[in-house]
């Protein structure tokens, strides 16, 4: 069935509670094509991974124009649907969120993820404003001429700004405001994740980070998760490999970590496999 849909409808169809797929967060053309070549069904940008590429910090340091340009490169890199990780929508006002959604649709993204955190101070938006912002984003998504998923995030638990009960109240309100999917990053435990999923009939995203990296897809499925994203985790794995190999070389003159790399031929084959066919 999915093969007969366009990639935007395919993206929505992947979101089935209790049957999670992996949303692979990438950071450049090469990582996008490698993940596509390895069998990823959909990709997403990562604000953290993008910041690393730019030699910058995460959370509020990247502009909307930078994020859009970066996302457009990822969209063009493969045939897969791509979601944009666009932090808080790059502005406090609901109309700014709506404009960000419209621009995201114009560059070919299949969806967008918007947080309820104000930058650069990192505080949570007051409840009513948070809901108004998500309502504006959802309405803008519906006004686009094609399918587009609007994902509303409640980030306060991960950032220590409010409780899980507060987060659940927020995603219920975001659901009612028109969000297509909901997301509470790192709610504490898989039991907490199941509480989040039980609060809505819509698809819920879970983040494979921290203690959740020890979970299996079956664990996420049992909690009724619809998709599992990676955030900046895969990028940090890559940066750890750089740190470990460079530390061995520069401090100890030890080049053996370089022997654990894969061949250039394998990299090139994966890149070719993930390259757009059209």
What is the predicted pLDDT for the residue at 4?
A: 66
Rg of the chain on CA atoms, in Å: 19
Contact 44, 25 (CB under 8 A): yes
Q: pLDDT (tens digit, 9 = 90+) per residue, 125-146?
A: 999 999 999 999 999 999 999 9
More confident residue, 4 or 67: 67
Find the mean pLDDT for residues 21-43: 97
Lowest mean pLDDT among 51-65, 142-156, 207-221: 51-65
Is pLDDT at 187 greater than 80 in this prediction?
A: yes
pLDDT in tens, 99-126: 999 999 999 999 999 999 999 899 999 9
Residue tagged 């220590």 (tokens): 160
Mean pLDDT of the region 225-247: 96
**Residue-level length of the chain:** 278
Q: What structural domains and CATH numbers belong to the chain?
A: 2-208+219-274 (3.20.20.60)
Q: Is the pLDDT of residue 55 over 90?
A: no
Task: With cut-offs at 50, 70 and 90, classify the pLDDT of residue 5.
Answer: confident
Decide if pLDDT at 276 tops 90. yes
pLDDT tens-digit readout, 64-94: 999 999 999 999 999 999 999 999 999 999 9
pLDDT of residue 97: 98
pLDDT, position 182: 98
- Model pLDDT for residues 149-182, shown as the tens digit of each residue: 999 999 999 999 999 999 999 999 999 999 999 9
pLDDT the model gives residue 1 = 41
pLDDT higher than threshold 90 for residue 195: yes
The proportion of the chain whose per-residue pLDDT surpasses 70, expressed as a percent, equals: 97
Q: What's the pLDDT band for 277 if we cut at 50, 70, 90?
A: confident
* Predicted local confidence at residue 190, as pLDDT: 97
pLDDT band with cut points at 50, 70 and 90 for residue 54:
confident
Burial classification of residue 90, based on how many CB atoms lie within 10 Å of its CB (0-12 exposed, 13-18 middle, 19 or more buried): buried
Instruction: Give me the mean pLDDT over the 206-233 stretch.
Output: 96
DSSP state for residue 63 in the 8-state scheme: -
Q: How far apart are CA 52 and CA 109, in angstroms?
A: 21
- Evaluate if residue 228 carries a pLDDT over 60: yes
- What is the structure's pLDDT at 231? 94
Let me know: does 182 contact 196? Beta carbons within 8 Å.
yes
Higher pLDDT, 80 or 260: 80
178 class by beta-carbon count within 10 Å (0-12 exposed, 13-18 middle, 19+ buried):
middle
């Amino acid at each position: 069935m999915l093969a007969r849909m366009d990639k935007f409808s395919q993206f929505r169809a992947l979101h089935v509670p209790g049957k999670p797929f992996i949303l692979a967060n990438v950071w450049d053309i090469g990582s996008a094509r490698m993940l596509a070549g390895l069998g990823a069904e959909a990709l997403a940008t990562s604000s953290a991974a993008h910041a690393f590429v730019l030699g910058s910090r995460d959370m509020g340091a990247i502009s909307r124009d930078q994020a859009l340009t970066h996302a457009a490169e990822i969209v063009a890199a493969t045939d897969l649907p791509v979601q944009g990780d666009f932090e808080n929508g790059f502005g406090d006002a609901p109309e700014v969120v709506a404009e960000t959604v419209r621009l995201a649709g114009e560059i070919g993204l299949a969806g967008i993820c918007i947080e309820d955190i104000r930058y650069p101070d990192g505080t949570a938006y007051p409840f009513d404003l948070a809901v108004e912002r998500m309502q504006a984003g959802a309405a803008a998504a519906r006004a686009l001429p094609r399918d587009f998923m609007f994902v509303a995030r409640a980030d306060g638990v991960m950032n220590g700004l409010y409780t899980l009960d507060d987060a659940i109240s927020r995603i219920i309100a975001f659901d009612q405001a028109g969000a297509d999917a909901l997301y509470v990053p790192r709610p504490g435990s898989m039991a907490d994740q199941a509480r989040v999923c039980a609060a809505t009939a819509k698809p819920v995203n879970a983040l494979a980070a921290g203690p959740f990296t020890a979970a299996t897809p079956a664990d996420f499925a049992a909690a009724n998760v619809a998709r599992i994203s990676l955030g900046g985790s895969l990028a940090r794995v890559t940066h750890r490999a750089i740190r470990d190999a460079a530390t061995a070389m520069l401090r100890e003159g030890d080049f053996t970590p370089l022997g654990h790399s894969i061949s250039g031929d394998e990299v090139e084959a994966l890149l070719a496999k993930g390259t757009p066919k059209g």
